[in-house]
């Protein structure tokens, strides 16, 4: 390769190739790869008796037209934008804005004065701005800051526990100026991004490795428990479990299962959760929200009660009960359409994920599919009484608050990973 690197004709050839490739991060690899091909051809020509001073020129001729090669490599390595995910995300967002418009215009004084649509629109604009920024972010740079992201998120959760806002026994939100941010809900995705970039491949005799692994499971779970955010702890454990399974199963079984067992035991010792579970399993003593939700859906029929139909019995109609309220207004067909949108959205994320080769990116995709799968499907199943009632709104559809900005940023990160799937270093098999 030394002769190739010094040969002016070869360097001019490589310059012409790279001139057509806009992804500059690929130039070094492409130059090295093409240079090795030229060197191989020069060796072949020399063995056939071609004079050394003519080998480079003849090898370049064998390579073909550099402009054609450059254009071909540009097509192979250009960024990819997934319009399907963005369209599905946009449709879910429109459904949410339209649902809040129904709530606001339903005639109920409680909702007409809160300006739900205006606030939701502000969150959506902020969310898409975050998506746009994350789309152009090189996700690979996040990996080396995994420890900082993890520790920073944990510190913010601890601060929320100390000075946060307590509502209904849960200390989940932090007041920042006029805004209240649900830090416990927003922390799940940053924690999983951080743990995706951490090393789980340590020896069984590595005590430090065991302590770090146990801390990554136990510390967030304890903070979720202390804040009363039991659901968020379950979602984090599910996402973390998927990441750990991809790296090293033994520590997950040795440490994760005991912690999970203890967490489940603590859940069974929480009186209101036991009461809610008993109500869910009972045929006669269903809780109020379940009865009202099922009743609203049954009364809708195929035609519904019409635009902005008033319903005073559905609790949290702007958030947790948004899905059953839309069915109440527009009928069972609306529920089917929203359900198909949610399933299509999750399937699209899954299809994007299986096309990714980078291990770090695959862990992020796997964890996000689990998190959004739980958060998107649970409210749908909750509306039909299939799963117990929990405080979970439908992402991008319910009001959601500032947490939805984090969700939009998460979609931007997935789009960023997918954008670079053809830009990651990989040896070219053919030229």
Give per-residue pLDDT as tens, 281-315. 777 777 778 888 999 999 999 999 999 898 888 88
Q: What angle do CA 243, 244, 247 make, to 5 degrees?
A: 95
Quickly state the pLDDT bin for 76 (edges 50, 70, 90): low
pLDDT above 90: percentage of residues in the chain: 38
Largest CA distance in the chain: 94
Contact (Cβ atoms closer than 8 angstroms) between residue 132 and residue 89: no
7 CB-near residues (< 8 Å, 6+ apart) = 56
pLDDT of 18 above 80: yes
- Per-residue pLDDT, 72: 76
Looking at residues 42-51, what average pLDDT do you find? Answer: 83
Contact (Cβ atoms closer than 8 angstroms) between residue 185 and residue 227: no
pLDDT of 21 above 80: no
* Distance set, CA 191 to CA 16, 47, 83, 154, 209 (Å): 44, 58, 27, 8, 18
pLDDT of 1 above 50: no
pLDDT of 347 above 90: yes
108 phi/psi in degrees, rounded to 5: -80, 125
Q: Which of 214-218, 275-279, 367-371 has the highest mean pLDDT?
A: 367-371
Q: Within 10 Å of residue 210's Cβ, how many Cβ atoms?
A: 16
pLDDT above 70: percentage of residues in the chain: 88
Give per-residue pLDDT as tens, 214-234. 888 889 999 998 888 888 998
Q: Which residues of 376-399 are buried (b: 16+ CB within 10 A; e: fewer)?
A: bbbbbebbeeeebbeebbbbbbbb
pLDDT of 126 above 80: yes
Looking at residues 407-419, what average pLDDT do you find? Answer: 94
Looking at residues 182-190, what average pLDDT do you find? Answer: 93
Three-state secondary structure call for residue 313: coil
Report the distance separating Cα 115 and Cα 128, nearest Å. Answer: 20
Report the distance separating Cα 370 and Cα 105, nearest Å. Answer: 35
| Average confidence score pLDDT of the chain | 84
DSSP state at residue 54: H
pLDDT of 430 above 70: no
The pTM for the full model equals: 0.81
Quickly state the pLDDT bin for 381 (edges 50, 70, 90): very high
pLDDT of 429 above 90: no
Q: How many CA atoms lie within 13 A of 421 on its CB side?
A: 19
Q: Which residue matches tokens 């064998």?
A: 62
406 CB-near residues (< 8 Å, 6+ apart) = 130, 186, 189, 190
pLDDT of 26 above 80: no
DSSP bridge pairs for 166: 171
pLDDT of 171 above 90: no
In 188-259, where do the E strands start and end?
none
In 17-127, where do the E strands start and end?
none
Looking at residues 141-160, what average pLDDT do you find? Answer: 94
Looking at residues 226-243, what average pLDDT do you find? Answer: 89
| Token duo for residue 314 | 């559905």
- Per-residue pLDDT, 419: 85
pLDDT of 115 above 90: no
Report the distance separating Cα 347 and Cα 332, nearest Å. Answer: 23
Contact (Cβ atoms closer than 8 angstroms) between residue 89 and residue 73: no
Q: Pick from 416, 401, 394, 396: which is nearest to 186 by CA?
A: 401
Better-predicted residue by pLDDT, 17 or 378: 378
DSSP bridge pairs for 174: 181
> How many Å separate Cα 26 from the centre of its chain?
26
Better-predicted residue by pLDDT, 25 or 418: 418
Q: Which residue matches tokens 């129904």?
A: 102
Looking at residues 205-222, what average pLDDT do you find? Answer: 83
- Per-residue pLDDT, 250: 62
299 CB-near residues (< 8 Å, 6+ apart) = 305, 328
- Per-residue pLDDT, 178: 66
Give the DSSP per-residue string, 330-382.
H-HHHHHHHHHHHHHHHHHHHHHHHT---HHHHHHHHHHHHHHHHHHHHHHHH
- Per-residue pLDDT, 2: 46
Better-predicted residue by pLDDT, 140 or 273: 140
- Per-residue pLDDT, 306: 93
């Amino acid at each position: 390769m030394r002769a190739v690197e010094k040969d002016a004709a070869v360097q001019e050839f490589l310059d012409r190739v790279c001139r057509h490739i806009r992804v500059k991060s690929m130039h070094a690899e492409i130059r090295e790869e093409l240079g090795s091909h030229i060197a191989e051809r020069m060796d072949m020509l020399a063995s056939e008796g071609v004079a050394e001073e003519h080998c480079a020129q003849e090898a370049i001729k064998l390579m073909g037209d550099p402009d054609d090669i450059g254009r071909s490599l540009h097509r192979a390595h250009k960024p990819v934008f997934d319009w399907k995910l963005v369209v599905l995300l946009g449709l879910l967002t429109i459904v949410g804005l339209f649902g809040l418009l129904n709530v606001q215009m339903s005639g109920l004084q409680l909702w007409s004065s809160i300006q739900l649509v205006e606030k939701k629109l502000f969150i959506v604009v902020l969310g898409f701005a975050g998506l746009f920024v994350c789309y152009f972010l090189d996700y690979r740079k996040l990996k080396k800051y995994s420890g900082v992201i993890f520790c920073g998120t944990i510190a913010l959760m601890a601060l929320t526990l100390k000075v946060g806002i307590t509502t209904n026994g849960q200390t989940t939100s932090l007041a920042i100026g006029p805004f209240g941010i649900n830090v416990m809900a927003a922390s799940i995705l940053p924690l999983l991004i951080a743990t995706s970039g951490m090393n789980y491949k340590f020896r069984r005799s590595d005590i430090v490795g065991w302590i770090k692994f146990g801390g990554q499971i136990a510390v967030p779970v304890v903070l979720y428990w202390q804040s009363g955010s039991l659901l968020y702890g379950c979602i984090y454990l599910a996402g973390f479990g998927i990441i750990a399974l991809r790296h090293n199963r033994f520590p997950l079984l040795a440490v994760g299962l005991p912690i999970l067992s203890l967490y489940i035991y603590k859940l069974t010792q929480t009186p209101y959760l036991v009461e809610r579970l008993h109500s869910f399993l009972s045929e006669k003593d269903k809780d109020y929200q379940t009865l009202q939700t099922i009743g609203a859906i049954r009364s809708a029929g195929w035609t519904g009660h019409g635009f902005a139909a008033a319903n005073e019995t559905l609790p949290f109609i702007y958030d947790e009960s948004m899905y059953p309220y839309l069915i109440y207004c527009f009928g069972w067909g609306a529920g089917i359409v929203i359900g198909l949108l949610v399933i299509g959205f999750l399937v699209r994320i899954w299809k994007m994920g299986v096309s990714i080769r980078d291990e770090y990116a695959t862990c992020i995709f796997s964890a996000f599919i689990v998190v959004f799968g739980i958060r998107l499907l649970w409210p749908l199943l909750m509306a039909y009484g299939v799963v117990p009632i929990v405080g979970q709104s439908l992402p991008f559809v319910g009001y959601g608050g500032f947490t939805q900005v984090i969700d939009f940023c998460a979609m931007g990160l997935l789009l960023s990973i997918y954008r670079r799937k053809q830009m990651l270093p990989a040896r070219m098999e053919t030229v």
